[in-house]
Amino acid sequence: MTFEDLRAELSGRVLVPGDEGFEAAARPWSSAVTQPVAAVVRASDADDVAAVVAHARRAGVPVVAQPTGHGATGGIEDAILLRTGGLDSVEIDAERRVAKVGAGANWGAVQAAAAAHGLTGLAGSNPVVGVTGYTLGGGLSWFGRKYGWASDAVRTFEIVDAEGARTRVGAEDPELFWALRGGGGDFGVVTALEFDLFPAPGLYGGRVLWHGARTAEVFAAFQEITADAPDELSVWFHRLQFPDAPPMVALDVAYLGDPEVGRALLTRLDAIDGPLADKRGTLSVANLGEITAEPTDPSPALSRAELLTDLGDAVVKTLLDEPVAPLADIQIRHLGGAFARADADGGARGPITEPYLLYALGLGFPHIAAAVKSRRAEIVDAIGAHISGLKPYTFLTPEETAAAAFDSSTLARLRAIKRARDPQSVIRANYPVLG
């Protein structure tokens, strides 16, 4: 395959193996994944995207769109990797409470722009995660218990379809709109999206950290608080094991509303003695990432997520009694609220009714990667009766497929749409629905 004709058509850059900068351009944020692709294109605008898709179709090679590589899965040796980071515009229409962002924008940029108007998007925990990949996969936000999935907040997508044509997709194309709202990146290359913003009258949040000896007390508080939390409050429980540090336990909290109300809802935590750190306080939604303070630099994260049907004794014993190592974090996120109320016909993500999400995280450094993987598997085996088997698309891992994110009728509908709209499979998602 030659890229000379494509180079001539684009204002962005085409890099092939051997070109200076190729390797850096092909490297995803998830540094445990390698991407020895046929070429990397750094698109400058939507016309570049259209030219790349049309070229890929003619050449019979897949296109993989990737702003950041947070969701990279590998297995794309022959593909054209389409870097969309250059399409990073962010426009806020405060009156209509709508954001229009380019396909390469990240959540940090959107939240900073929205916060200036007292508004928020449905952002997750990390400011450098891309809005597009997150939203196409559903997008589990700190504010999702109140306002639902990020994908359901989308009003319109601007896409390049598998023919290479630019088009706008909204409610007037209900099948494609439904698929794009949570079905992943298989159905078009998005060049921009427009989505609802929500009022952010205040935010109270932060992490409280204790020595691991307090685990049982902290977990009891987590259960009590989440049993009747209002939808504005989200609480995540963590058991943490950092290198060369003692075991620790933490609660991350976010209350969207009057900070005094948030503070009052969490006074239960004041009864647990000896916090090592208490970062609770008034926050701007622009600084949402401070709550978990996750790494923003590339990382070899190895994670595994499962939806928990309950926090019964077997789950508690498995998650609380054994050491965390070789994992770094055993996390339980409270779901419920609007996640469970989502309209199945409004978007492919649909409702998730399990009340909690388990997220087990380790680092894939060569000396511990195998141990991390087997510990993840042991945990899942031990709590097998309390997990539903399905999980949010954005929490899939490279060993899994899209089939783990959808019930069978949703998956069949997504597959039918993919076959109809992209019969040659020109556009390849990180978790293809046909894969």
Ligand X SMILES: Cc1cc2nc3c(=O)[nH]c(=O)nc-3n(C[C@H](O)[C@H](O)[C@H](O)COP(=O)(O)OP(=O)(O)OC[C@H]3O[C@@H](n4cnc5c(N)ncnc54)[C@H](O)[C@@H]3O)c2cc1C
Q: Which residue ranges make up the site for ligand X (CB under 6 A)?
A: 64-72, 84, 103, 124-126, 129-130, 132-134, 136-137, 139-140, 184-185, 189-190, 294, 301, 392, 394, 429-430
* Least distance between ligand X and beta carbon 148 (Å): 12
Q: Which is nearer to ligand X, 83 or 375 (CB)?
A: 83
* Least distance between ligand X and beta carbon 314 (Å): 27
Q: Which is nearer to ligand X, 49 or 249 (CB)?
A: 49
Q: Which is nearer to ligand X, 132 or 318 (CB)?
A: 132
Q: Which is nearer to ligand X, 189 or 308 (CB)?
A: 189
* Least distance between ligand X and beta carbon 175 (Å): 17
Whether omega for the bond prior to residue 127 falls within 30 degrees of 0, making it cis, is no
Residues 6+ positions from 208 with CB-CB distance below 8 Å: 250, 251, 253, 269, 275, 277, 278, 279, 280
Query: What radius of gyration, in Å, describes the C-alpha atoms of the chain?
Result: 21
* Least distance between ligand X and beta carbon 403 (Å): 16
Q: Which is nearer to ligand X, 297 or 313 (CB)?
A: 297
* Least distance between ligand X and beta carbon 303 (Å): 8
Q: Rounded to an integer, what distance in angstroms lies between the CA atom of residue 56 and that of residue 36?
A: 17
* Least distance between ligand X and beta carbon 165 (Å): 15
Q: Which is nearer to ligand X, 210 or 255 (CB)?
A: 255
Closest CA to 84 of 96, 66, 72, 70: 66
Q: Nearest 5°: CA angle at 255, between 265 and 132?
A: 155
Residues listed for the chain: 435
Q: Which residue has the tokens 């939604």?
A: 285
* Least distance between ligand X and beta carbon 317 (Å): 27
Pairing state between β 233-240 and 329-334: antiparallel
Q: Which is nearer to ligand X, 162 or 208 (CB)?
A: 162
* Least distance between ligand X and beta carbon 260 (Å): 26
**Residue 366 · residue 382 · CB < 8 Å:** no
Q: Which is nearer to ligand X, 70 or 214 (CB)?
A: 70
**In the Cβ-directed half-sphere of 68, how many Cα atoms lie within 13 Å?**
24
* Least distance between ligand X and beta carbon 183 (Å): 10
Q: Which is nearer to ligand X, 136 or 327 (CB)?
A: 136
Taking the chain, what is the end-to-end CA distance rounded to the nearest angstrom?
A: 25
